[in-house]
Amino acid sequence: MDRTLTLLGIESSCDDTAAAVVRLAPGAAPEILSSQVLGQTALHEAFGGVVPEIAARAHAERLDGVVEEALATAGVTLDQIDAIAVTAGPGLIGGVLSGVMLARGLAAAKGLPLVPVNHLAGHALTPRLTDGIPFPYLMLLVSGGHCQFLLVQGADRFVRLGGTIDDAPGEAFDKTAKLLGLPQPGGPSVEAEAALGDASRFRFPRPLLDREGCDMSFSGLKTALLRGRDALVAEKGGITVQDRRDLCAGFQAAVAEVLAKKTARALDMAGEPPTALAVAGGVAANKAIRAMLETVSTRAGVPFLAPPLRLCTDNAAMIAWAGLERLRAGLSHTTDFVARPRWPLDDRAPALLGSGKKGAKA
């Protein structure tokens, strides 16, 4: 690619309405000219999870404004955009459709190429946007909706080495917080409590560690936590502040150990040593988990990479970038595509069981 490309990215597959402008000039590092993210936490708070109909409506109402803001912040007009990249799945279908309809309309009105992007590819290609690392690298995607190990070999080549067979770790953090009366999102509040607790007091299960491969399971953890809490309540009529801290510490230690051990396994399974271990997703913000992953990675002689959190969590810069990578690699772009609620990155990997609170897992 020997000319500068400026892409508009649109993301609306879950509970963030996002638009961004990303530019790549020949010989230069990519530049994020803008990245607007409008969250919907307040709209779903009362329901204990994302309500698909509410999410879709909010996306439909807000997308135009968010796109306008992204263009204005970047200081460009649609006439200076070379292509539009849009999340075409996987995700909550009403939201995905809102984004795809808007992108189709803008692309048709301006005669621009439209690049359908897999949301997971957006996450998986982010380390190249932030750090320019070469293929192949190992990505651990760990959030409220996803948990999988991907070997990223090219802009369109992903091998799924394993992942959760039930809940995503972020969901487990959120449920733990709920069970212990801590505020949502659960990750940061459980982490803060855990920092003051004794991780050795409650020994929670480490599911699937004895099984080969790097599949994981987190749904049993919340049941174990519930039992631990209820045993304390039965014993003394309630739980103390210190009990809560210890429960959080025990829970977090279990999640961290499973992620770390399975990461070591995934690094082994990668074959040719990957150029890096990169993490993405909200759970990657957890300092204890991050530290354990970094240790595993360093021990295997593989550099550890954690892009800034605003680019690890859902955003549209990663979608614009994934679109740019596809254009640059000469991969087809077309208006002839459908929005997909499920869209595994690696078609050869066996389908996953279960579906997370934020919709079907890919």
**Contacting positions for ligand KG4 (CB under 6 A):** 14, 143-145, 170-171, 173-174, 185-188, 191, 281-283, 285-286, 313-314, 358
Residue 186 binds which of Zn ion, ligand KG4, none (CB < 5-8 A, kind-dependent): ligand KG4
Nearer to ligand KG4, 161 or 259 (CB): 259
Query: Which amino acid would we find at residue 278?
Result: A
Question: In whole angstroms, what is the distance from residue 68 CA to residue 31 CA?
Answer: 19
User: Total residues at the site for Zn ion (CB under 5 A)?
Assistant: 1
Question: In whole angstroms, what is the distance from residue 153 CA to residue 132 CA?
Answer: 14
Strand order in the sheet with 83-89: 31-39, 16-24, 5-11, 83-89, 114-118
Contact 190, 177 (CB under 8 A): yes
Question: In whole angstroms, what is the distance from residue 275 CA to residue 303 CA?
Answer: 7
Name the minimum Å distance from CB 141 to Zn ion: 8
Residue 303 binds which of Zn ion, ligand KG4, none (CB < 5-8 A, kind-dependent): none
Contact 106, 78 (CB under 8 A): yes
- The 3-state DSSP class for residue 311 equals helix
Interhelix angle for 186-194 vs 241-269, to 10°? 110
- Cβ-Cβ contacts under 8 Å for 291 (sequence gap 6 or more): none
Q: Which of residues 295-314 bind Zn ion (CB under 5 A)?
A: 314
Exposed / middle / buried, residue 101 (Cβ in 10 Å: 0-12, 13-18, 19+):
middle
Name the minimum Å distance from CB 171 to ligand KG4: 6
Name the minimum Å distance from CB 313 to ligand KG4: 3
- The 3-state DSSP class for residue 254 equals helix
Name the minimum Å distance from CB 58 to ligand KG4: 16
CB count in 10 Å sphere of residue 224? 18
Name the minimum Å distance from CB 148 to ligand KG4: 13
Question: Per-residue x/- mask for Zn ion, residues 311 to 330, rule CB under 5 A?
Answer: ---x----------------
Please give the residue whose beta carbon sits closest to ligand KG4 in the complex.
187
Residue 193 binds which of ligand KG4, Zn ion, none (CB < 5-8 A, kind-dependent): none
Nearer to ligand KG4, 40 or 313 (CB): 313
Nearer to Zn ion, 129 or 199 (CB): 129
Nearest residue to 151 via CA among 258, 271, 259: 271
Name the minimum Å distance from CB 279 to ligand KG4: 11
Nearer to ligand KG4, 193 or 243 (CB): 193
- Cβ-Cβ contacts under 8 Å for 116 (sequence gap 6 or more): 85, 86, 88, 100, 333, 334, 337
Residue 144 binds which of ligand KG4, Zn ion, none (CB < 5-8 A, kind-dependent): ligand KG4
Name the minimum Å distance from CB 46 to ligand KG4: 17
Q: In whole angstroms, what separates CA 4 from the centre of its chain?
A: 28
Residue 173 binds which of Zn ion, ligand KG4, none (CB < 5-8 A, kind-dependent): ligand KG4
Residue 185 binds which of ligand KG4, Zn ion, none (CB < 5-8 A, kind-dependent): ligand KG4
Contact 87, 117 (CB under 8 A): yes
Name the minimum Å distance from CB 226 to ligand KG4: 18
Rule CB under 5 A: is residue 16 a binding residue for Zn ion? no
Which residues bind to Zn ion, rule: CB under 5 A?
314
